[in-house]
A = this chain, B = another copy of it.
Amino acid sequence: MTRKKVKLAFIENNTARKSAYNKRKKSLVKKVDELTALCGIDACAIIYGPYDAQPEIWPSPSGVQEVLSKFMTVPEVEQSRKMMNQESFLKQRISKSEKQLQKQRRDNREKETTMHMFRCLNAGNIVQNSMSVGDLNDLSWMIDHNLRAIGRRMESDDRENIIHQSPPPPPPPTAPNNNEIAMMGHGHAGMAMNNNDLIQSQMFMDMGMNGYE
Contacts and interface: CB of A to CB of B under 8 A. Distances in A.
Interface of A: 6, 8-11, 17, 20-21, 24-25, 27-35, 37-50, 52, 54-61, 63-64, 67-68, 70-72, 74, 76, 78-86, 89
21 contacts: A8-B38, A10-B38, A17-B38, A24-B34, A28-B31, A29-B84, A41-B47, A42-B48, A42-B55, A43-B48, A45-B45, A46-B67, A48-B67, A49-B82, A54-B81, A56-B83, A57-B83, A58-B85, A60-B83, A61-B76, A61-B79
A43 B41 contact: no
A71 B49 CA distance: 12
Copies of this chain held together in the complex? 2
A207 B206 CA distance: 52
Given A8-B38, A9-B38, A21-B39, 6 more contacts: A20-B39, A24-B34, A28-B28, A58-B83, A61-B76, A68-B72
Given A28-B32, A82-B54, A20 B38 contact: yes
The 8 closest A-B pairs by CB, nearest first: A42-B48, A54-B82, A43-B47, A21-B39, A60-B85, A61-B79, A57-B83, A59-B86
A69 B34 CA distance: 27
